[in-house]
């Protein structure tokens, strides 16, 4: 392999491995080291089975390709490793014939693609868009609706003064409804806030603890909280109050989703070296290594909601406003981060990826 080829493989974001005849690892690129949490020296020549969960379909897949040849893809394989936790990956395995001395051996090239990275890239585009449209809409509402409304309300008030008592009910109605719409617009106004965030180093664990205590004193009093923090996590450059708002909205949703009995909300943080995301309109890819997860054991996000989950006014709750996640998407976007959701019955995870520090 030339140096260039070597560099290309080592810089790919996805783990690539070559598995030999005896199911041993023959080659592992740089991303594999991160994925499996082991150095290349440790990986190479070691049995592949040592690094994947016991009984994973991946081993059978590799064997099948080894014997039958061709190429097989398998989507959504769970490959939990100590480092990655519950990694969900798409796998592509194809047979390759090594050159040189071991020509007679049958090697299998395995490429893993982490789901969270792929979905995060997707989300990036949609949620940024959603946040933008909310901002524009909120600004529009404030100007185009609030001002004329106060005129309408004032006119109704004047009419009330010299109208017969039987009409007063109608002028009251106009005023009450005008007030109601103003309140609604006021709630939207948080979105039109274009003020740049005031960044300072924020300890996200302190934020999580604060929100957990708030929750335990109120809506989360029956929920069991589990904390799983990476103590080496560097501070987030952000605005503390806004980050509290993000965690509060996510944790409140989690508490509202969990079953009455045995409700469980897990808060976790980790430092992910590999997460890089390409932003549209910019050459560089963002490094978003700080990951904060809020996980619950509720029934999951309803399928029909998923495409618009982060849009405003999307709710399934009788008294819900559907502004919580829209707010979360806006704040995370303002911080240069990304949010994604992975949900199945019994396990819903909202993942927030944040930059370590930003200009
Ligand atoms: N952890 C979760 N589990 C299941 N569904 C969720 C979760 N978080 C959010 N949702 C769904 O997304 C919707 C929108 O959430 P949100 O924007 O916070 O508004 P609200 O909580 O007012 O309904 C919720 O009504 C719910 O259907
Ligand atoms: Mg909510």
Q: Is the CB of 254 under 6 A from ligand 1?
A: yes
- At residue 329's C-alpha, the angle toward residues 351 and 331, to 5°, is 105
Is the dihedral angle over the CA atoms 271, 275, 280, 281 positive or is it negative?
positive
> Percent of the chain at pLDDT above 90?
35
DSSP string, 259-327: -SSS-EEEEEEEE-TT-EEEPTT-SSEEE--EEEEEEE-SS---GGGGGGTTSTT---STT--S-HHHH
Provide the CA 92 distance to its chain's centre, in angstroms: 24
Q: Residue 57 — very low, low, confident or very high, per pLDDT cuts 50/70/90?
A: confident
Q: Is the CB of 325 under 6 A from ligand 1?
A: yes
DSSP H helices in the chain: 3-11, 30-36, 40-43, 57-68, 115-141, 147-161, 165-189, 204-217, 240-257, 324-334
pLDDT in tens, 141-186: 777 787 788 888 888 888 888 889 888 888 898 999 888 888 877 7
Q: Is the CB of 322 under 6 A from ligand 1?
A: yes
Q: Is the CB of 289 under 6 A from ligand 1?
A: no
pLDDT in tens, 83-110: 556 577 888 899 987 777 667 788 999 9
| Residue 209 burial (CB count, 10 A) | 16
pLDDT in tens, 182-203: 887 777 777 776 677 888 999 9
pLDDT at 188: 74
pLDDT in tens, 27-53: 999 989 888 888 889 999 999 998 888
Ligand 2 centroid to residue 249 C-alpha, Å: 6
Q: Is the CB of 201 under 6 A from ligand 1?
A: no
Ligand 2 centroid to residue 8 C-alpha, Å: 44
Q: How far is CA 178 from CA 140, 174, 326, in A?
A: 17, 6, 25
Q: How far is CA 29 from CA 56, 106, 208, in A?
A: 21, 19, 35
Q: Is the CB of 263 under 6 A from ligand 1?
A: no
Among 251, 298, 325, residue to substitute to test ligand 1 (most atoms within 8 Å of Cβ): 325
Atom of ligand 1 nearest to the CA of 309: 12
pLDDT at 276: 65
Q: Is the CB of 246 under 6 A from ligand 1?
A: no
- pLDDT of 10 > 80? The answer is yes
Mean pLDDT of 216-229: 94
Q: How far is Cα 339 from Cα 120, in angstroms, rounded to an integer?
A: 7
- pLDDT of 349 > 80? The answer is yes
* Mean pLDDT rounded to a whole number for the chain: 84
Tokens 């603890």 found at:
209
Ligand 1 centroid to residue 218 C-alpha, Å: 18
Residue 176 neighbours by CB under 8 Å, 6+ apart? none
The answer to whether 296 and 254 are in contact (CB under 8 A) is yes
pLDDT at 52: 87
Among 250, 253, 308, residue to substitute to test ligand 1 (most atoms within 8 Å of Cβ): 253
- pLDDT of 347 > 90? The answer is yes
Ligand 1 centroid to residue 316 C-alpha, Å: 7
Mean pLDDT of 216-244: 92
CATH of domain 3-116: 3.30.450.20
Q: Residue 79 — very low, low, confident or very high, per pLDDT cuts 50/70/90?
A: confident
pLDDT at 358: 45
- Point out the ligand nearest to the CA of residue 346: 1
pLDDT in tens, 238-294: 999 899 999 999 999 999 999 999 999 999 999 887 666 655 555 566 677 899 999
pLDDT at 151: 86
Find out if CATH 3.40.50.620 is the number for domain 200-354: no
Q: Is the CB of 339 under 6 A from ligand 1?
A: no
pLDDT at 84: 55
Q: How far is CA 269 from CA 232, 244, 312, in A?
A: 10, 15, 27
Q: Residue 359 — very low, low, confident or very high, per pLDDT cuts 50/70/90?
A: very low
pTM: 0.61
Give, rounded to a whole angstrom, the gap between the first and last alpha carbons of the chain.
Answer: 39
- Point out the ligand nearest to the CA of residue 303: 1
Residue nearest ligand 1's atom 5 by CA = 301
Tokens 């993000």 found at:
246
Residue nearest ligand 1's atom 19 by CA = 322
Identify any residues that bridge with 271 across adjacent strands, giving them in sequence order: 290
- The tokens for 6 are 């070597």
Q: Is the CB of 314 under 6 A from ligand 1?
A: yes
Which residue has better confidence, 353 or 296?
296
The answer to whether 301 and 285 are in contact (CB under 8 A) is no
Q: Is the CB of 316 under 6 A from ligand 1?
A: yes
> Percent of the chain at pLDDT above 70?
87
Identify any residues that bridge with 28 across adjacent strands, giving them in sequence order: 17
């Amino acid at each position: 392999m030339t140096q260039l080829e070597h560099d290309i493989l080592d810089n790919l974001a996805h783990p690539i491995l070559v598995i030999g005849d005896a199911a041993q690892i023959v080659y592992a690129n740089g991303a594999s080291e991160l994925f499996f949490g082991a150095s290349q020296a440790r990986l190479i020549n070691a049995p592949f089975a040592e690094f994947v969960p016991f009984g994973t379909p991946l081993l059978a897949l590799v064997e099948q390709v080894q014997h039958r040849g061709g190429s097989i893809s398998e989507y959504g394989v769970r490959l939990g490793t100590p480092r990655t936790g519950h990694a969900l990956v798409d796998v592509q395995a194809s047979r390759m014939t090594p050159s040189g001395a071991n020509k007679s051996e049958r090697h299998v090239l395995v490429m893993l693609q982490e789901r969270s990275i792929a979905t995060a890239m997707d989300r990036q585009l949609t949620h940024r868009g959603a946040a933008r449209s909310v901002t524009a809409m909120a600004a529009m509402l404030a100007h185009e609706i609030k001002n004329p409304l106060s005129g309408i309300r004032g006119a109704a008030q004047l009419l009330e003064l010299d109208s017969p008592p039987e009409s007063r009910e109608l002028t009251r109605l106009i005023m009450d409804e005008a007030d109601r719409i103003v309140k609604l617009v006021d709630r939207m106004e948080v979105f039109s806030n274009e003020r740049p965030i005031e960044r300072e180093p924020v300890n996200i664990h302190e934020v999580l603890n604060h929100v957990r205590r708030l929750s335990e004193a109120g809506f989360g009093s029956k929920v069991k909280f589990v904390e799983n923090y990476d103590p080496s996590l560097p501070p987030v450059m952000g605005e503390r109050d806004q980050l509290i708002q993000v965690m509060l909205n996510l944790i409140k949703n989690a508490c509202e989703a969990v079953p009455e009995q045995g409700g469980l909300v897990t808060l976790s943080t980790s430092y992910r070296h590999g997460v890089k995301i390409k932003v549209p309109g910019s050459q560089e890819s963002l490094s978003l290594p700080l990951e904060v997860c809020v996980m619950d054991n509720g029934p999951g996000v309803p399928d029909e909601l998923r495409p618009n989950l982060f849009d405003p006014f999307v709710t399934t709750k009788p008294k819900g406003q559907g502004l919580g996640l829209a707010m979360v998407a806006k704040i995370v976007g303002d911080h240069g981060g990304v949010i994604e959701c992975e949900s199945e019955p019994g396990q819903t995870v909202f993942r927030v990826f944040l930059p370590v520090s930003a200009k």
